[in-house]
Amino acid sequence: MKDYINNIIKPKLQGDGGEIDFVSYENGILTVLLQGECSKCLIVDRCIAWIESEVMRDMGESVKVVAQKKKPFFWDK
Amino acid sequence: MAHIKVVRRSMRPEEWTDLRFGWLKRYIYDEKFEIENLKVRDARQVAEMQYEYYPEGFRPLNKGDMYFTPDGTAFFEADVIIPEHLQGKELWFSLKTAAEIIVKVNGKYVGGVDPNRDRILLTPYIDSDVLHFEMEGYNRSKPDDERNPESLSVRGCRQIFEGAYLATINHTVLDLVYDLELLLDIAKSELFNEDYRNFLNREINNALNLIDFDDLKTEDVASAKKYVDDVIYANDDYKGNGDVALIAHSHLDIAYYWRRIHSVQKNLRTILIQLRLMDRYPDFKYTHTQAYTYEMLEKYYPDVFEELKEKIANGQFEPVGAMYVEPDCNIPCAESLIRQFMYGQHYFREKFGKTVKNCWLPDVFGNSWILPQILKKSGVDYFVSNKMSTWNDTNRFPHNNFIWKGIDGSEVYACVPPTHFITWNMPSQIQENWEAYQDKNQGGQTMSMFGYGDGGSGCTEEMIEVMHRFNKLSIMPKTEHISGQEFLEKNLKDNKNLAKWDGELYLEMHRGTFTTKSQMKRYNRKLEYKLREAEIVSTLRHLKGAEYPHEEIRDIYKKLLINQFHDILPGSHIAPVYRDAMADYEEIDARLNKIIGTGEDYFNSLNFTRSHLTFVENPNGESVRYGKRGNWVIPNLPPLTCGEIVYNETNADWLTIGEKVVTPFYEIIFNTDGSIESIYDRKAQREWVGGEFNKLKLYKDNPGVYDAWDILPNYKDREVEVKILSPLKTIERNSEVASFECVLGTETSTWKRIIRVFRQSRGIEVENIVDWNEKHVLAKAQFDCNVLTRKAVCDTSAGFIERDTHRNTTWQQARFEVCHHKWVDMSETDGGIAIINDSKYGVGLLENSMSLSLLRATIRPDVTSDIGHHEFSYMIYPHTEDFVKAEINNIAYEYNVPLGKADLTCENSFGELYMQTMKMSEKGNMIVVRLSEQNGRRGKIKLGGKVKLLNFLEDVIAETDTVEYKPFEIVTIGIET
């Protein structure tokens, strides 16, 4: 799962100025760290749902993605 | 006494007007017929015109469905039968989207939709009752959306489809919408006369009162429109002033928050949209830069390219800019900038029969002083660049239309428009431009660019429609929509009243771009010189009968030039752009190695004798540098000559190591962190160190939103502790060099410094091997010199620039971080210290102190920026005469140009000038030699025979057997073969 997030999902989010890092995967809960543009995206829930469906299709696993957002100081108002 | 603030909670009349304006816009479309059989297929672009498709294939796309994926491209298809009741009517395609979509109907490219426009006129392309739609979209969750506030809330990778329609338009409504767009902009802008704005608010209200919004009738809208004509446009009681030229333009970053591969489609969409506007508005003229973007269009969309050629021929579509891309103009060397013009102009000549007369760089982060000469010798008389007027953080740049005098005395006409290069042509923006214009009395018109940009897209119907109404408004400045070149010739050419700016066009912002993404800067420097080497050896081999690799060199050069684009080389881009660039650099490196090849003997490609200590790789060598074995030798190879290198191993008794390290030149006291307490010069009998010297300094570097771009003047406020992980120790001592190593670090990074002193060189080299894992940290090497001076001298790659080191005025205060190339020097008349580098560009200069910027750690646009392994070196070079007599230029060249092998020799070395290149001409009929004066002298070179004098486009200007040159001049000669 870590390789999948870091090698398959990450480059796609980076393509939109975002950043995702694997944090943990336990009991169907996939925790990821979102930075860059993702950290302030107002509609990131749509993207999280997309990640869940991508994981289901490619890994055959039903996961719930929990996103931790790390906004840089200059957007943290 | 209590104070009660009165807050108005009831609706103001202006809000009532805004509400009704919003309602009116709902009636722009008379009828909308939903396309219900649209299918979409998700993909991801992996190369130019190449896609990886998601496995699901095409699926139906209905209103309310989610579409687009992160970094995704979507392909759409539909066959639509035009309903009978719409047949024969003026028909539009309507699609509201946050993405960028190219629309093809019945095999023809008909236009584009994006956040700035949501409809395309279909009528000219309807040749049957069935319309076959093919569309390609790239999602647009990009920062320039902020200029279009309506799209902010839907910015993101996944979008909700809002439906696609065939539609008809109520032109009466649309006409009034454009009127109100224009008039409300004035009414809301404090830049215009208050009484006139009151008049507008009153009369717009009166006009809208003629419409019953509960039962909107077109004839009522027509009455309101007539009221606007008769009452508002007819009023000329309120006089504006000013004279503003309106120039249509779209800035297209070929990579930024998107990869270069995406700019192929961004460019197509932008050009298509402008072509369609030209079809509808014959007076509309548009400027487009970068020969590379034309090349891409020609390569992948030849039909549109043919259409474009027609519009260029009729004068509506105007190629501007002359250069291959819009490069950074601080970091690329002179030869790279020359090639930007040469390849750009050759393309424009070949395809359109035009030599472009202007350099057009609206978004570039400051402009080197060497540019005017390069422009002039590339057929370019005019320079346009916006940023100094709108982005300077300290001083207001004092001119907009002026003459720019370059380092060698060359002069070009320059325009720094008073306002941003992205505007939407609204009256308030035009008024703002006029008010900000500083050359009202002598500069003629002011330039106002209009059109959306950064990711392209350009002008809209609305921008043109409002422009057609400007002359109905007496309050507005006089406006004229003309081409870029028309503006420049009309206002600047032969204008004797223009002020003159003699110096670099320094941008008081984005000072971090000299340093961000260190690896790219290192590769760029290395490959610029490697290309030089490849062309020289290829030319000399060609003279011996070998084929000259024209196509290969041209292709490689263009690849390097693309990566000098002003959001690539400066480091202001997302991670995939960096990966693309690094892959390009590795490919270029390998291809150049193949061209250069090898030989039995060492070849000195410099046109002066290599007489300074050089590291020459040798698997059996006794030293190690950058992880490779070799020897430190003085090659003593004559210019452009090959030969053997004699390396005499002697003993190591040339130095003593104790409390002081004593070399033939110095007595040095090192600190355990590699900083230097003292350098006592045994020959000059003087101390060079005046404080912290060769001290590694780390600072918290928090510049804000422009993270990758900026270093702020407060960067020294908080230092980051540098720990000594391993104190300085001797690691090497042989017949030429003694090396000392220490390891420094923070909690997350390690920094190895290898310091070398030499038997035969005054240089003290510092090799840095860094594993860098910081966030928001700027690394500098500080050198407080025992030198009394108010100026530092910086290499520009084609001459030197003197910079004040005091902070007397705001102009010096703003230049706390500047760009240099191979070296920077602080001297008294009888000696000083140069810092020569192999890959660094940023430097801070303050009184007697130089601080070389080494690494940054920014997180926007790329969270991973600069994290990883770095290797770079610099050389501290105290000298006992001035920097010219000390041959700092020669030493810096020798430090940057590795000594390779090739069995070649050239008879002529071309005197005291520096050979920037020797190549076969693009036509293949001449050897082209480019020489630059870099020490501030004038003189002449006798060539022993007739040669052609060329410009930088390789046009023959004259014939001569003697070349006279002046300080900092770049001379190109052609020798017929």
CA B383/CA B329 separation, integer angstroms: 13
All CATH 3.20.110.10 domain ranges of chain B, comma separated, are 243-509
Give residue B145's pLDDT.
54
Who has greater pLDDT, A76 or B512?
Answer: B512
Closest to B577 measured CA to CA, from B451, B756, B708? B708
Residue A58 lies in a domain: yes
In CATH, which of 2.60.120.260, 2.10.109.10, 3.30.70.20, 3.40.50.2000 is domain B29-169? 2.60.120.260
CA B599/CA B903 separation, integer angstroms: 5
CA B117/CA B379 separation, integer angstroms: 37
Give how far A28 is from chain B: nearest CA, Å. Answer: 23
A50 interaction partners in chain B (CB closer than 8 Å): 66, 69-70, 157-158
Query: Which fold, B243-509?
Result: 7-stranded beta/alpha barrel (3.20.110)
B862 interaction partners in chain A (CB closer than 8 Å): 36
Query: Which fold, B907-977?
Result: Immunoglobulin-like (2.60.40)
Residue B759 pLDDT more than 60? yes
Residue A31 maps to which CATH number? 3.30.300.130
Name the residue among B158, B575, B864 with its Cβ closest to that of A50: B158
Give residue B911's pLDDT.
78
Give how far A5 is from chain B: nearest CA, Å. Answer: 13
Residue A22 lies in a domain: yes
Give residue B156's pLDDT.
85
Give residue B148's pLDDT.
64
* Other residues' Cβ atoms within 10 Å of the Cβ of residue B310: 12
Question: What is the DSSP-derived secondary structure letter of residue A67?
Answer: E
The reply to whether residue B72 touches residue A12, judged by beta carbons under 8 angstroms, is: yes
CA B933/CA B968 separation, integer angstroms: 5
Q: State the residue range of the domain holding A35.
A: 2-72
Q: What is the pLDDT of residues B408-423, one digit of tens each?
A: 999 999 999 999 999 9
Question: CB of B875 within 8 A of CB of B836?
Answer: yes
* Residue B705 pLDDT grade (very low, low, confident, very high; cuts 50, 70, 90): very high
Alpha-carbon distance values, B702 to B196, B220, B713, B856 (Å): 45, 57, 11, 11
Residue B908 pLDDT more than 90? no
Residue A51 lies in a domain: yes
- Cross-strand partners of B874: B766, B837
In single-letter form, the type of residue at position B720 comes to: V
Query: Is B156 in the A-facing interface, judged by CB distances under 8 Å?
Result: yes
The reply to whether residue A14 touches residue B66, judged by beta carbons under 8 angstroms, is: no
Tokens of B110: 């008909």
**What values do phi and psi take at B156, rounded to 5?**
165, 170
Give residue B146's pLDDT.
56
**What values do phi and psi take at B19, rounded to 5?**
-60, -50
Query: Is A73 in the B-facing interface, judged by CB distances under 8 Å?
Result: yes
How many residues can be counted in chain B?
977
Question: What is the DSSP-derived secondary structure letter of residue B863?
Answer: T
Tokens of B773: 């894992």
CATH number of B623-900: 2.70.98.30
**Full DSSP string of B624-685:** EETTEEEEEE---BPTTEEE--------STT-EESSSEE-SSEEEEE-TTS-EEEEEETTTT
Mean pLDDT taken over chain B: 96
Mutation target among A37, A38, A71 for the B interface, most CBs of B within 10 A:
A37
Q: What is the average pLDDT across B659-677?
A: 98
Alpha-carbon distance values, B336 to B232, B341, B344, B505, B846 (Å): 55, 9, 12, 19, 30
- Provide the sign of the torsion angle of the four alpha carbons B867, B873, B877, B882, taken in this order: negative
Question: CB of B872 within 8 A of CB of B768?
Answer: yes
A57 interaction partners in chain B (CB closer than 8 Å): 55
Q: Is B754 helix (H, G, I), strand (E, B) or coil?
A: strand
Query: Is B153 in the A-facing interface, judged by CB distances under 8 Å?
Result: yes
Confirm whether the ipTM is greater than 0.95.
Answer: yes
CA B899/CA B884 separation, integer angstroms: 23
Query: Is B702 in the A-facing interface, judged by CB distances under 8 Å?
Result: yes
Query: Is B55 in the A-facing interface, judged by CB distances under 8 Å?
Result: yes
Answer whether the bond into residue B861 is a cis peptide, omega within 30°: yes
Question: CB of B785 within 8 A of CB of B690?
Answer: yes
- Under 8 Å CB pairs connecting chains A and B tally to 86
Q: What is the pLDDT of residues B9-62, one digit of tens each?
A: 899 999 999 999 999 999 999 999 999 999 999 999 999 999 999 999 999 999
The reply to whether residue A74 touches residue B705, judged by beta carbons under 8 angstroms, is: yes
Instruction: Give residues 33 to 72 of A whose Cβ lies within 8 Å of B.
Output: 35-37, 41-44, 46-47, 49-50, 57, 72
Closest to B251 measured CA to CA, from B390, B405, B62, B51? B390
Give how far A77 is from chain B: nearest CA, Å. Answer: 12
Q: What is the pLDDT of residues B475-507, one digit of tens each?
A: 999 999 999 999 999 999 999 999 999 999 999
Mutation target among A6, A13, A16, A74 for the B interface, most CBs of B within 10 A:
A16
In three-state form (DSSP H/G/I as H, E/B as E, the rest C), the secondary structure along B157-195 is CCEECCCEEEEEECHHHHHHHHHHHHHHHHHHCCCCCHH
Give residue B652's pLDDT.
82
All CATH 2.70.98.30 domain ranges of chain B, comma separated, are 623-900
Scored b (16 or more CB within 10 A) or e, B665-677 reads bbbbebbebbbbe
State which residue of chain B sits closest to A49, comparing Cα positions.
Answer: B158
Q: What is the average pLDDT across A40-48?
A: 93
**What residues contact residue B965 under an 8 Å CB cut-off, 6+ apart?**
B913, B931, B933, B938, B939, B940, B941, B971
B66 interaction partners in chain A (CB closer than 8 Å): 46, 50
CA B154/CA B269 separation, integer angstroms: 21
The reply to whether residue B156 touches residue A43, judged by beta carbons under 8 angstroms, is: yes
HSE-up (13 A, CA, CB side) for residue B801: 25
Give residue B144's pLDDT.
54
Give the number of domains in chain A.
1
Q: What is the pLDDT of residues B610-634, one digit of tens each?
A: 999 999 999 999 999 999 999 999 9
HSE-up (13 A, CA, CB side) for residue B909: 15
Q: What is the average pLDDT across B722-736?
A: 97
Q: B291-300 and B550-562 helices cross at what angle (nearest 10)?
A: 110
Question: CB of B810 within 8 A of CB of B786?
Answer: no
Query: Is B49 in the A-facing interface, judged by CB distances under 8 Å?
Result: no
- Provide the sign of the torsion angle of the four alpha carbons B423, B429, B434, B439, taken in this order: negative
Question: CB of B693 within 8 A of CB of B785?
Answer: yes
Give how far B672 is from chain A: nearest CA, Å. Answer: 36
- Cross-strand partners of B737: B758
Give residue B7's pLDDT.
81
Residue B940 pLDDT more than 70? yes
CA B847/CA B835 separation, integer angstroms: 16
Q: What is the average pLDDT across B457-461?
A: 94
The reply to whether residue A17 touches residue B55, judged by beta carbons under 8 angstroms, is: no
Query: Is A77 in the B-facing interface, judged by CB distances under 8 Å?
Result: no
CA B888/CA B820 separation, integer angstroms: 14
Residue B147 pLDDT more than 70? no
Question: CB of B382 within 8 A of CB of B359?
Answer: yes
The end-to-end CA distance of chain B, in Å, is 95
Tokens of B534: 């490849």
Q: What is the average pLDDT across B641-645?
A: 95
Q: What is the pLDDT of residues B233-277, one digit of tens each?
A: 999 999 999 999 999 999 999 999 999 999 999 999 999 999 999
Residue A77 lies in a domain: no
CA B99/CA B117 separation, integer angstroms: 11
Closest to B871 measured CA to CA, from B523, B516, B513? B523
- Provide the sign of the torsion angle of the four alpha carbons B876, B880, B881, B885, taken in this order: negative
Question: CB of B580 within 8 A of CB of B574?
Answer: no
The C-alpha angle B714, B715, B720, rounded to 5 degrees, equals 135
All CATH 2.60.40.2220 domain ranges of chain B, comma separated, are 907-977
Give how far A62 is from chain B: nearest CA, Å. Answer: 18
